[in-house]
Amino acid sequence: SAVISQKPSRDICQRGTSLTIQCQVDSQVTMMFWYRQQPGQSLTLIATANQGSEATYESGFVIDKFPISRPNLTFSTLTVSNMSPEDSSIYLCSVGGGGTSGDDEQFFGPGTRLTVL
Amino acid sequence: GQQVMQIPQYQHVQEGEDFTTYCNSSTTLSNIQWYKQRPGGHPVFLIQLVKSGEVKKQKRLTFQFGEAKKNSSLHITATQTTDVGTYFCAGYNTGKLIFGQGTTLQVKP
C-alpha cells in the first residue's frame, strides 16, 4: 500500500481567500483522486487527477472553484478558491491500488480539515 | 444518478454482540469495496468483492456480495471495542467509486 501525506493537516481561512492542499505519495501512481467529506458524512468525489491530462470533475464541481494540478506521478494539489463557509469540510486525496482501470482499492491520505469563517 | 444506500446509519451494540451493515446499489456494480474509518481518522481499505455471490472472511469479519451484484453486507461476529468506527461500502461502476453513507458502530464495553 502507498503512504500518502497531505499538507496542511488543518487550516482556518477567511471567506473569499483560496487554499492549496498538497498531496504527496511515496511511490509513483497513475490515478489520484480528491474527495470532500463533511463532518459525520460520506465521501464525495470531487475529481480524478491523472498525470499528463486534465482532471476529470464530477457533477457539481468545477475547475474554476477547485483547480487541480498533477505535475508528476507522486504529487498533486487541490486549490479551494474564493472560499465560503460552505466549503468547510475535510478534503482527502487518495490513490488507486496500481491499476489503470480505476477499479482498484484506494488508499487515503490523512485529510485536510478546512474551516472557513 | 447512481446511488449506494447503506443501513443502518448508526448501531450501538454491547461488546460481544454481532453487528451487520447492509449496502444496496441502484445499479449493477463491477465490484464493491469496504472501508473503515476510525473517529478522527481517514478511510482504510478492508476488502474488495468482485464475483457474484462472493463471500470473504477476515477473522471476525464476513463480507458478502449479492448474486445480482447490487447489494453487499458486512457482518462482524462478537464485536470488540476495537471495532468502533464508521464502515463504508463503496460501489464501483462507470469509472468511479460511489460511497455509501456509512454505518457508525459504537461498542459498549
B45–A106: do the CB atoms touch at under 8 Å? Answer: yes
Nearest chain A Cα to B6, which residue? A42
Q: Is A82 domain-assigned?
A: yes
Cβ-based interface (< 8 Å): residues of A facing B? 1, 33, 41-45, 48, 58-59, 92, 102-111
Kind of pairing, strands B10-14 and A68-72? unpaired
How many Cβ atoms sit within 10 Å of the Cβ of residue A107? 21
pLDDT in tens, A58-117: 999 999 999 999 999 999 999 999 999 999 999 999 998 765 556 688 999 999 999 999
> pLDDT tier at A54 (50, 70, 90 boundaries)?
confident
Q: Is A32 domain-assigned?
A: yes
Q: Is A48 domain-assigned?
A: yes
Residues whose CB is less than 8 angstroms from the CB of residue B108 and which lie 6 or more positions away in sequence, other chains included: B12, B13, B14, B15
Residues of chain B in contact with residue A43, where contact means CB-CB under 8 angstroms, are 43, 88, 90, 99
Local structure of residue B105 (DSSP, 8 states): E
> pLDDT tier at A39 (50, 70, 90 boundaries)?
confident
Q: What is the mean pLDDT of residues B3-28?
A: 96
The nearest CA of chain B is from the CA of A82 a distance in Å of 26
Q: Is A97 domain-assigned?
A: yes
CATH of the domain at A84: 2.60.40.10
Residues whose CB is less than 8 angstroms from the CB of residue B98 and which lie 6 or more positions away in sequence, other chains included: A45, B2, B3, B4, B25, B90, B91, B92
In degrees and rounded to multiples of 5, residue B17 shows phi and psi of -80, 160
Interatomic CA distance for residues A8 and A22, integer angstroms? 7
Residue B15 belongs to what domain range? 4-108
Q: Is A100 domain-assigned?
A: yes
Residues whose CB is less than 8 angstroms from the CB of residue B16 and which lie 6 or more positions away in sequence, other chains included: B78, B79
Q: Is A51 domain-assigned?
A: yes
Does the pLDDT of residue B9 top 80, yes or no?
Answer: yes
Q: Is A92 domain-assigned?
A: yes
User: How many domains does chain A fold into?
Assistant: 1
Q: Is the CB of B33 inside 8 Å of chain A's CB atoms?
A: yes
Q: Determine contact, residues A26/A74, Cβ cutoff 8 Å.
A: yes
C-alpha cell recorded at residue B80: 470488540
Q: Is A101 domain-assigned?
A: yes
User: How many domains does chain B fold into?
Assistant: 1
CATH of the domain at B15: 2.60.40.10
B88–A42: do the CB atoms touch at under 8 Å? Answer: yes
The nearest CA of chain A is from the CA of B14 a distance in Å of 22
Closest Cα to residue A44, out of B48, B27, B29, B90? B90
Residue A35 belongs to what domain range? 25-108
The nearest CA of chain A is from the CA of B61 a distance in Å of 18
